[in-house]
Amino acid sequence: MIQVAWRGRDIYLPFTFAPRTLIINTRLIHTDGMEMRLTPWITLTTGTFSAIVSSEEEMVRLLTRREELRRYLFLYISGNYSRLLSRVGDRRARFDVRRAFTTHQLLTILREAAHTIVFIEHDPTLFDGVPAHLITTVGRTIQEMAAGSIVILYTPVPDRTFGTLADYADRIVTLAPEQKEEPKGGKGPRERPAGQVSLGAF
């Protein structure tokens, strides 16, 4: 038996899982497929939905250095405006761009996507005045789409809607900016690794 802590409760599961299978948020996610190393500490795999909070500069740096974007079908989904798109486009990559101007258009794009990697730049204006049930539908659709893809939902500044969508993610990641170490003997800030945060952070 394996003891798993989930939402304040202990759940006991029989140890009968197939090889190369992980438990994440009590869902079985097979690690067969491609991997994308986000940082030295975080690797994204096929079958996962990750909600990521980081500075624009950090995300641009990560996207422009990823060799995976040149080898696999990559879909970039943005809303009414994009903070990153003009800085991460690379015509050597198999790089498709879709823009959604309404929540319904976003749902259509998500349901039609058949890419290996899907990057969604969160646009809070898409959800202005949108009923709560439609926001949860978007979250569930992203979760379902991640069954065969690596899906990233990104924002530099989390808001309530991002928190609702992130509730369907397998992991929530915050990327702290790199900080230079001071000379020996100093007590200045050190480089901080990326980590995972709870929804309470929103």
**Do 62 and 44 meet the contact criterion of CB atoms below 8 Å apart?**
no
Which of residues 35 and 135 earns the better pLDDT score? 135
Core vs surface per residue 145-162: b (16+ CB within 10 A) or e: bbeebbbbbbbbebeebb
Reported as a single tens digit per residue, the pLDDT across 177-197 is: 655 555 455 454 444 444 444
* Torsion angles phi and psi, residue 58, rounded to 5: -65, -40
pLDDT score, position 152: 95
- In this predicted structure, the answer to whether residue 95 has a pLDDT above a threshold of 70 is yes
Cα–Cα dist 172/196, whole Å:
6
Which of residues 132 and 6 earns the better pLDDT score? 132
Instruction: Give the count of beta carbons closer than 10 Å to the beta carbon of residue 165.
Output: 24
Backbone angle region of 79, left / alpha / beta, with phi > 0 → left and psi within -120 to 50 → alpha: beta
- In this predicted structure, the answer to whether residue 74 has a pLDDT above a threshold of 60 is yes
For a pLDDT cut of 70, what percent of the chain falls above it?
A: 65
pLDDT score, position 89: 60
Reported as a single tens digit per residue, the pLDDT across 134-160 is: 999 999 999 999 999 999 999 999 999
Which of residues 73 and 3 earns the better pLDDT score? 73
Reported as a single tens digit per residue, the pLDDT across 10-34 is: 444 443 333 332 333 333 333 346 7
> What CATH code would you report for 33-201?
3.40.50.300
pLDDT score, position 179: 52
pLDDT score, position 196: 46
- Indicate the domain borders of the chain: 1-32, 33-201
Reported as a single tens digit per residue, the pLDDT across 108-125 is: 999 999 999 999 999 999
Cα–Cα dist 180/173, whole Å:
22
- In this predicted structure, the answer to whether residue 99 has a pLDDT above a threshold of 80 is yes
What's the whole-number average pLDDT of the chain? 75
